[in-house]
Amino acid sequence: MQVLYPNEFLSKAENTPVVDVRSPAEYAEGHISGAFNIPLFSNEERANVGTVYKQQGRLQAIELGLDIVGPKMSGFVKEAQALASSGELLVHCWRGGMRSESMAWLFERVGIQCFTLKGGYKAYRNLLMEELGTIPHLIVLEGFTGSGKTEVLQELDQRDEQILDLEGLANHRGSVFGGVGQGEQPTTQQFQNNLLAALRKLDREKRIWVEGESKSIGRVSLPDSFWKNMNQARIIEIEVPVEERVKRVVKDYGMLERPQMEKAISSLHKRLGEEQTNMILELYQTDKLEQVAAMLLSYYDKTYRYSRDKYKKSDASINLSGINSQEDAGKLVEKANELKL
In DSSP notation, 185-203 reads PPPHHHHHHHHHHHHTTS-
Query: In the 8-state DSSP scheme, what is residue 119?
Result: T
Whichever domain contains 249, its CATH number is 3.40.50
pLDDT tens track for 204-224: 999 999 999 989 999 999 999
pLDDT of 164 over the 80 cut? yes
pLDDT above 80: residue 49: yes
pLDDT of residue 174: 80
pLDDT tens, position by position, 65-123: 999 999 999 999 999 999 999 999 999 999 988 999 999 999 999 999 999 999 999 99
At 303 the pLDDT is: 87
| Angle CA 122–73–190, to nearest 5 | 30
Question: Is the same domain home to 51 and 152?
Answer: no
Instruction: Reply yes or no on whether 93 is catalytic.
Output: yes
Residues 121 and 219 in one domain: no
Examine the fold and report which residue of 91, 111, 128 is the final residue of a domain before the chain moves on.
Answer: 128
Q: Quick one: pLDDT at residue 309? A: 80
Give the per-residue pLDDT at 254.
Answer: 87
Model pLDDT, residue 216:
93
116 and 169 within one domain: no
Q: What is the mean pLDDT of the chain?
A: 94
- Cα–Cα separations (whole angstroms), residue 176 to 188, 216, 229, 263, 268: 17, 11, 25, 10, 8
pLDDT recorded at residue 212: 92
Based on the fold, state whether residues 183 and 329 are members of the same structural domain: yes
Please report, rounded to a whole number, the percentage of residues in the chain having pLDDT higher than 70.
100
Backbone angles phi, psi at 136, to 5 degrees: -70, -30
Among 19, 35, 93, 329, which one carries the catalytic annotation?
93
**pTM, full prediction:** 0.92
Residue 124, SS3?
helix
Instruction: Using pLDDT thresholds of 50, 70 and 90, give the confidence band for residue 306.
Output: confident
What's the number of domains the chain is made of? 2
Distance, CA of 209 to CA of 341 (rounded, Å): 10
Q: In sequence order, what E strands does the chain have?
A: 2-4, 18-20, 36-37, 88-92, 113-117, 138-143, 162-164, 208-211, 216-217, 220-221, 234-239, 316-319
Q: Label residue 37 by pLDDT band (50, 70, 90).
A: very high
Query: Looking at the predicted structure, is the pLDDT value of residue 127 above 80?
Result: yes
Same domain, 54 and 192: no
Tell me, what's the pLDDT at 185?
96
CATH (domain of 105): 3.40.250.10
Q: How far apart are CA 275 and CA 296, in angstroms?
A: 14
Same domain, 311 and 177: yes
Question: What is the helix (H) or strand (E) element at residue 315, kind and residue range?
Answer: none
Tell me the mean pLDDT in the region 240-251: 94
Tell me: do 46 and 163 sit in the same domain. no
320 vs 256, higher pLDDT: 320
> What Å distances lie between residue 140 and 88, 149, 163, 195, 240, CA to CA?
40, 10, 10, 16, 17
Q: How large a percentage of the chain has pLDDT more than 90? A: 86
> Where among 128, 148, 167 does a domain terminate?
128
Residues 239, 276, single domain; the answer is yes
- What pLDDT, on the 0 to 100 scale, is given for residue 140? 96
Domain boundaries, position 50: 2-128
3-class DSSP assignment, residue 311: helix
User: Looking at residue 332, what is its pLDDT?
Assistant: 96
pLDDT winner (highest mean) among 95-99, 126-130, 177-181, 253-257 = 126-130
Residue 180: per-residue pLDDT: 76
Does 272 lie in the same domain as 236?
yes
Same domain, yes or no: 165 and 99:
no
Whether the predicted pLDDT of 256 surpasses 90: no
Look at residues 94, 128, 162 and tell me which one is the last residue of a structural domain: 128
pLDDT of residue 337: 95
Please tell me the chain's helix, strand, coil percentages from 3-state DSSP, rounded to the nearest 5. Answer: 55, 15, 30
Q: Do 91 and 194 fall into the same domain?
A: no
Question: What secondary structure letter does DSSP report for 227?
Answer: H
Return the pLDDT at 241.
Answer: 95
The mean per-residue pLDDT over the stretch 243-266 comes to 91
pLDDT in tens, 141-151: 999 999 999 99
Same domain? For 121 and 84 the reply is yes
The confidence score (pLDDT) of residue 310 equals 75
